[in-house]
Amino acid sequence: MHSECRDETVYLSGEVTVATVTAQLFHAYCQQLGYLKNSPAPAIDFSGVSQADSVCISLMATAKRSRPEAAWVFRGLPAGVAALAELYEVGGWITS
């Protein structure tokens, strides 16, 4: 996984899976969420993700926990992750 913060958005790319998201990468992602602290509608963009699993749900939950009052936008979510979100009953989180 690669993550980059710009334009009030954290952009994710590459493989975002249990096997690829290390503690170090997760820590960097959490730091990037902190850069969005003043954004009224912070976003996470998944459009650069080539392979995904339930870790994406965890990344969305982490974002929502970091700023529960914010109107989070989750863009470009892979179809499989959107299906998992419905299965886990968190599909209402997904705003594009």
Report the distance separating Cα 92 and Cα 30, nearest Å. Answer: 22
Q: What is the pLDDT of residues 30-68, one digit of tens each?
A: 999 999 999 999 999 999 999 999 999 999 999 999 999
Task: Give me the domain span that covers residue 81.
Answer: 2-93
Report the distance separating Cα 34 and Cα 54, nearest Å. Answer: 22
**What's the pLDDT band for 95 if we cut at 50, 70, 90?**
low
Sheet holding 9-16, edge to edge: 2-6, 9-16, 43-52, 73-75
Domain count, the chain: 1
Check residue 93 and give its pLDDT: 74
80: domain CATH number? 3.30.750.24
Tokens linked to 11: 């952009």
Q: What is the pLDDT of residues 71-85, one digit of tens each?
A: 999 999 998 988 888
Distance of CA 33 to the CA centre of its chain: 9
